Amino acid sequence: MNTPAHNTDEAYTTRVAALRADLHGAHSLAVAFSGGVDSSVLLHAAHALLGERAVAVIADSASLPRRELAEARTVAERIGARLVVLATDELDDPLYRANAGDRCYFCKSALFRALEPWARAHGFETVAFGEIADDALDVRPGGRAARERGVRAPLAAAGFTKADVRRYAREHGLSVAEKPASACLASRLPVGTAVTRERLARIEAAEDALKDLGLRQVRVRDHGDLARVEVGRGELAAARAGIATIEAALGALGFARVELAIYLPPAERAAGVSATT
């Protein structure tokens, strides 16, 4: 059987070459960094070519878990790149707090609004973020904010898929190669539920508690007194076995009920894959 062209070694090599050519043409680059696999690959490739002319900038606000910030520091340090922590103000924006379905647009707008003047002031000519080709499969208002401000997406431009970034990360020994997908804490709130510092703090505490129990991929969706706990497909059996402990941990945070489900990436949700089997 023929292997699809986008999966061949030759095609992957072509995409890596395209990425490097793109980055090589940048005089200097400020990478909007999260510590996830996509932005880590972009940072690694940029730092390999540009050295100190590539810098990582992470947006810090109540929607960023402290664990993620600590992990991002470690990843950037191992790459050898400087990491700048930049406070962002999205919670001051009533349109962001309203969480009307386009929250990510206002979040990314706040990030780039803070990042662009910082980059100019420190001599970084280009701002980029870790969007990949697969992101076109999902509704991403944050990508619209990036395009409006001229923020570049070198991975997507080179055709990098999620399989590509994980392969690149493995080949270069990045610790995030198999890191589960993550998203900001505000993504755990249903559309229409206002984003508040208190709700974000409760979600972070809930997910920290479950990770302390050994679960690796965790989302705690906040539905008021109901916590919808989503875990990786391979962790559902363990979560069911430990449901009493989970209920006690989340009960201490004010959740009266707990519902377990499988975490589904956007592509699987769009395809109608069940989260309860």
Q: Which pLDDT score, from 0 to 100, does residue 274 have? A: 61
pLDDT for residue 273:
60
Q: Please report the pLDDT score of residue 8 as a whole number.
A: 78
| pLDDT tens per residue, range 105-163 | 999 999 999 999 999 999 999 999 999 988 765 667 778 899 999 999 999 999 999 99
5-171 matches 196-270 in fold: no
Q: Write the pLDDT tens digit of every residue in 26-46.
A: 999 999 999 999 999 999 999
Torsion of CA 265, 268, 135, 6, to 10 degrees: 120
Helix (H) or strand (E) holding 135: none
Q: In this model, does residue 169 exceed pLDDT 70? A: yes
Q: What is 5-171's CATH number?
A: 3.40.50.620
For residues 223-243, give the mean pLDDT.
96
Q: What is the band of 3 on the pLDDT scale with cuts at 50, 70, 90?
A: very low
In this structure, which topology does domain 196-270 adopt according to CATH?
GMP Synthetase; Chain A, domain 3 (3.30.300)
The verdict on pTM exceeding 0.85 is yes
Read off φ and ψ for residue 256, nearest 5 degrees: -85, -25
pLDDT of the residue at 4: 44
Q: What is the DSSP letter of 80?
A: T
pLDDT for residue 85 is more than 90 = yes
Q: What is the pLDDT of residues 236-273, one digit of tens each?
A: 999 999 999 999 999 999 999 999 999 987 666 655 56
Helices (H), the chain: 9-24, 37-50, 66-79, 94-98, 103-121, 141-148, 154-157, 162-171, 197-212, 236-241, 243-251, 266-270
Going from N- to C-terminal start, the domains of the chain cover 5-171, 196-270
Q: Write out the two tokens for 225.
A: 């007194």
Structure tokens given for 22: 């793109």
Task: Give the pLDDT confidence score for residue 277 in this predicted structure.
Answer: 52
Share of the chain above pLDDT 90, in %: 85
The CA distances from residue 87 to 8, 19, 174, 186, 268, in Å, are: 41, 29, 26, 16, 33
Lowest-confidence region among 6-10, 149-153, 179-183: 6-10
Predicted confidence (pLDDT) at residue 6 exceeds the cutoff of 60 = no
What is the per-residue pLDDT for 127?
97
